[in-house]
Amino acid sequence: MSDDGKRRWKGPPKEKQQGSGRRMSERKIIAYNAKDESSKRWIERQLTDPYVQRAKKDNYRARAAYKLLEVDEKTGLLKGAKRVVDLGCAPGGWIQVCQRRGVSEIVGIDLLAVDPIPEAHIVQGDINEAEDVAKMMEGLSGPPDLILSDMAANTTGHKQTDSLRTAALAETALWFASEHLVQGGNFCSKVFQGGATPELLGDLKRMFKTVKHVKPPASRAGSPELFVVALGFRGRS
């Protein structure tokens, strides 16, 4: 699940969304009413973030949609994809991107509940639970040709700990890909600053023809996140 999904601000009531935008005084009032300093900073950032505004305009559920769009622009990740798995799919922005890019079948899984998306098969469950995975895969007519993972552990504020925890989720996603991805398929996973661990990078290079790291512009400058993109699955060896 993306950070946007964990604390995604849904905006003011519709009747207050008219006009060219909120005045600075209104933004300050909203931030002032937040419960703590962290929430105040988050709300202020959401109110002024151009990607948040674009997401509302383009009807994406979260600004994270633009991360996938920008990764695709740089790598061609989504080209030709027809059956897609989205791991950690809440709140559903990446599913929306895939559908708009012509993906015919898409399934997703997340520990959190996700509001339904037409033509998408979404399961609330754990990727480590075989029963949940089997339920998710029922939504595909065959092996996926693209596996996406925006999974991220809740951050602790300790950079090394956060990086290791997110790397562990990336390794889980790669294990899943090695079990399910069709030959020639593609893979993308979130990692933290420093990129994939040497072990993960070695596995990726062995299993795929091309491996690269991408920092999309939509990823906030202060965020440690990167995305590792692997193209051309060769199979486990």
Q: What is the DSSP string of 31-55?
A: HHTSSSHHHHHHHHHHHH-HHHHHH
51 and 144, same domain (yes or no) = no
CATH of the domain at 213: 3.40.50.150
192 and 133, same domain (yes or no) = yes
Contacts of 76 (CB under 8 A, 6+ apart): 231
Identify the pLDDT of residue 17: 38
Identify the pLDDT of residue 189: 97
Give the whole-angstrom CA distance, residue 139 versus residue 159.
37
Contact between residue 89 and residue 108 where contact means Cβ atoms under 8 Å apart? yes
Identify the pLDDT of residue 2: 52
Identify the pLDDT of residue 37: 64
Boundaries of domain holding 87: 64-233
Instruction: Give the active site residues.
Output: 190
87 and 52, same domain (yes or no) = no
Identify the pLDDT of residue 14: 39
Identify the pLDDT of residue 44: 62
Largest CA distance in the chain: 60
95 and 145, same domain (yes or no) = yes
53 and 73, same domain (yes or no) = no
42 and 75, same domain (yes or no) = no
Identify the pLDDT of residue 6: 43
159 and 219, same domain (yes or no) = yes
Question: Which of 41, 58, 75 is at the close of a domain?
Answer: 58
Please state the φ and ψ torsions of residue 82, each to the nearest 5 degrees: -125, -35
Identify the pLDDT of residue 161: 82
54 and 70, same domain (yes or no) = no
Contact between residue 10 and residue 68 where contact means Cβ atoms under 8 Å apart? no
Number of domains making up the chain? 2
101 and 46, same domain (yes or no) = no
Question: Which of 58, 74, 100 is at the close of a domain?
Answer: 58
50 and 112, same domain (yes or no) = no
Residues of the chain with pLDDT under 70: 1-47, 195, 237
